[in-house]
Structure 1
Amino acid sequence: MKGMELGPAARARRHWLMAALALPAAGAAAAAAATPPVILVLGDSLSAEYGLARGEGWVTLLQQRLAKSMPAARVVNASVSGDTTSGGRARLASLLRQHKPTVVVIELGGNDALRGLPISGTRDNLLAMTRASQDAGAKVLLLGMQVPPNYGGAYGRDFSAVFPEVARQTKAALLPFLLAGIADAPDAMTWFQADRIHPTAKAQPRMLDNVWPHLQPLLR
């Protein structure tokens, strides 16, 4: 009856029932919180240790840094030298199914520019990869890229603008320029291999330092 006070036995039964109903949700939340993060890096030669000794690249350095603060975290480096955004888009679905990442780092686009591919295609591919990763339950970090001035001012501006545009549309995290402090340094050529495209081993810690402030919040 409405307004009737419950007796001690009835109150105890009600408290037990409420606690029992809360257990599955609490257990699921605890399990989710305890799941070690998996970081999938989908990139090109800048992330694939091109021209470097094995273990010198920024992705390997990332795994080493995480081993100190988050030892259960796992980094999957799915980077392929020479890959374009269309190549990464074609590979992504199987990588998401296989690794079930919690964070996807997309470092692609530089080879699109080097090959003079349409910027609209680069934009569409980045959008598709970001949305596919988010639909799979992962957070996304886009690593922006810039092209040298000899590509022309208009092309360079349009290309660089693709990354923040995709980040705005998808609410993904963004590092505006992966090679900040390297490609635009006064002594830039000392940070690159002889091809003047791929950073040297000494540039890799700086690349990781560029990535880390944008990646770390996604791991919390």
Structure 2
Amino acid sequence: MRNLVRYCLILSVFIMFSCGENTDKKSGENTVEEVQTETEIQKSEKNVILFFGNSLTAGMGLETSEAFPALIQNRLDSLNYNYEVINAGLSGETTASGKNRINWVLNQDVDVFVLELGANDGLRGIPLEETRKNLQDIINSVKEKNPDTKIVLAGMQIPPNMGEAYTTEFKNIFPELAEKNNIALIPFLLEGVAGDPKLNQQDGIHPTAEGYEIVADNVWSVLGDVVEKE
């Protein structure tokens, strides 16, 4: 009988301590959840830079971490800027297809919008007025969604395959739109990279990882002034 009573007492103590351990574990779990929630809130409070473009933005042929948007994120982090970069590049994107998906992309809050489209239009010989109109429509959509969003337009140039007149007018679309809309302009996204076999992949169009380092510098030379004003 005594043994039975002793066993019951021991069992009761064991159950009591076990419950205490479970309570402590649950308390610890709640602490982790609270930390995760705080982290999510901090992330949501970051300003957003959205890069909207084609395969040059997406980093075709390389890891996303090697594309220039990721390099810009690294630079922002190193300078302790409170910005989150979103890479919304899509390979093969034209200004027309970009115009079709812009409203979906703008479902999120964007503080700085970097527009990098037009190269595929030029390479396909799309009528210049169509390219110009599509780019303007995208700019209008961004302004209508949030007038405070700062817009940066990436200038582009193409080889003279389409003739001198087409090539020249294509190049002029970007500075003219930038001036008309009073937005920042990256004169030529691929400055110092285009035409250099050592800095481009085998297709001769998309930069290598080393080439993207230069592209990131081209972007930052303009974007740096924009984000400092935030």
TM-score normalised by L of structure 1: 0.79
- Spell out the pairing of 1:1-220 with structure 2 (5 A cutoff): 36-97=46-107, 99-135=108-144, 136=146, 137-183=148-194, 188-219=196-227, 220=229
Larger helix percent? 2
The residue identity in structure 1 corresponding to 2:158 is V
Measure the CA separation in 2 of the matches of 1:161 and 1:43: 19
- Asked if the contact 1:133/1:139 (under 8 Å) is kept, the reply is no
Q: Greater CA radius of gyration, 1 or 2? A: 2
Instruction: Tell me the secondary structure at the aligned position of residue 55 of structure 1.
Output: helix
Q: Which stretch shifts more, 153-162 or 66-75?
A: 66-75
- Asked if the contact 2:150/2:226 (under 8 Å) is kept, the reply is yes
Deviation at 1:86, TM superposition (A): 1.1
The residue identity in structure 1 corresponding to 2:124 is R
Instruction: Tell me the secondary structure at the aligned position of residue 64 of structure 2.
Output: coil
- Asked if the contact 1:52/1:201 (under 8 Å) is kept, the reply is yes
Deviation at 1:71, TM superposition (A): 4.5
Measure the CA separation in 1 of the matches of 2:111 and 2:134: 20
> How many residues matched?
182
- Asked if the contact 1:131/1:170 (under 8 Å) is kept, the reply is no
Measure the CA separation in 1 of the matches of 2:78 and 2:197: 32
Deviation at 1:151, TM superposition (A): 2.6
Measure the CA separation in 1 of the matches of 2:77 and 2:188: 26
List alignment gaps of at least 5 residues for structure 1: 1-34
TM-score normalised by L of structure 2: 0.76
List alignment gaps of at least 5 residues for structure 2: 1-44
CA deviation vs aligned residue, 1:109-155 (integer Å, no higher than 9, x gap): 00011111111011011111112212323110000110012331111
The residue identity in structure 1 corresponding to 2:185 is L
The residue identity in structure 2 corresponding to 1:198 is H
Measure the CA separation in 2 of the matches of 1:119 and 1:70: 41
Report runs of 4+ in structure 1 exceeding 3 Å deviation: none
